Amino acid sequence: MKIKIINKSCHDLPSYETIASAGMDLRANIKTSMALKPLERAVIKTGLFIELPIGYEAQVRPRSGLAAKKGITVLNAPGTIDADYRGEIGVILVNLSSEDFIIEKGERVAQLVIAKHERAEWIEVKTLTQTSRGEGGFGSTGLK
């Protein structure tokens, strides 16, 4: 699949690190390093603008290493970039650790996954088909 992209950053285009990678790293397009304090959130711009085909979305997801080692994650994970959005890709980062996190220029702050999606058509009904789970909600299929 080919996707149009404008790169206004000073970094290379996102790329897959391995043949089996699902996501491409997004880098911070900032002039100088910045601190993200504990429980603080910020939109980190990437300098990237994309044009997705209809029927696809780009998902902004956390990087597992940053989450596990530093407590840094994407607040609205996964963030969705719709096919009709033409603005700059931004990453909503949050610091869930107890220490300041310094974001460096060009730091890999998130990953981008391109995914196909379907559009639903609602059919209003009065009842739904019964299942063994029924209305069992959060945790209803877990250990007892």
Note the pTM of the prediction, 2 decimals.
Answer: 0.89
Angle at 28 between CA 24 and CA 34, to 5 degrees: 150
Is residue 128 assigned to a domain?
Answer: no
Is residue 106 assigned to a domain?
Answer: yes
Helix %, strand %, coil % of the chain (to 5): 5, 35, 60
- pLDDT tens-digit readout, 2-37: 999 999 999 999 999 999 999 999 999 999 999 999
- Number of folded domains in the chain? 1
CA 1 and chain centroid, separation = 20
Is residue 141 assigned to a domain?
Answer: no
Q: Tokens 């990237």 — which residue?
A: 48
- pLDDT tens-digit readout, 74-106: 999 999 999 999 999 999 999 999 999 999 999
Which range of residues forms the domain containing residue 42? 4-116
How many alpha carbons lie under 13 Å from residue 56 in its C-beta half-sphere? 12
Is residue 88 assigned to a domain?
Answer: yes
* Secondary structure (3-state) at 131: coil
Is residue 38 assigned to a domain?
Answer: yes
Q: What is the pLDDT of residue 143?
A: 58
Please determine, for residue 133, whether its predicted confidence score (pLDDT) is greater than 90.
no
Beta bridge partners of 45: 90
Is residue 86 assigned to a domain?
Answer: yes
CATH code of the domain in which 91 resides: 2.70.40.10
Q: What is the pLDDT of residue 89?
A: 98
Closest CA to 101 of 37, 27, 24: 37
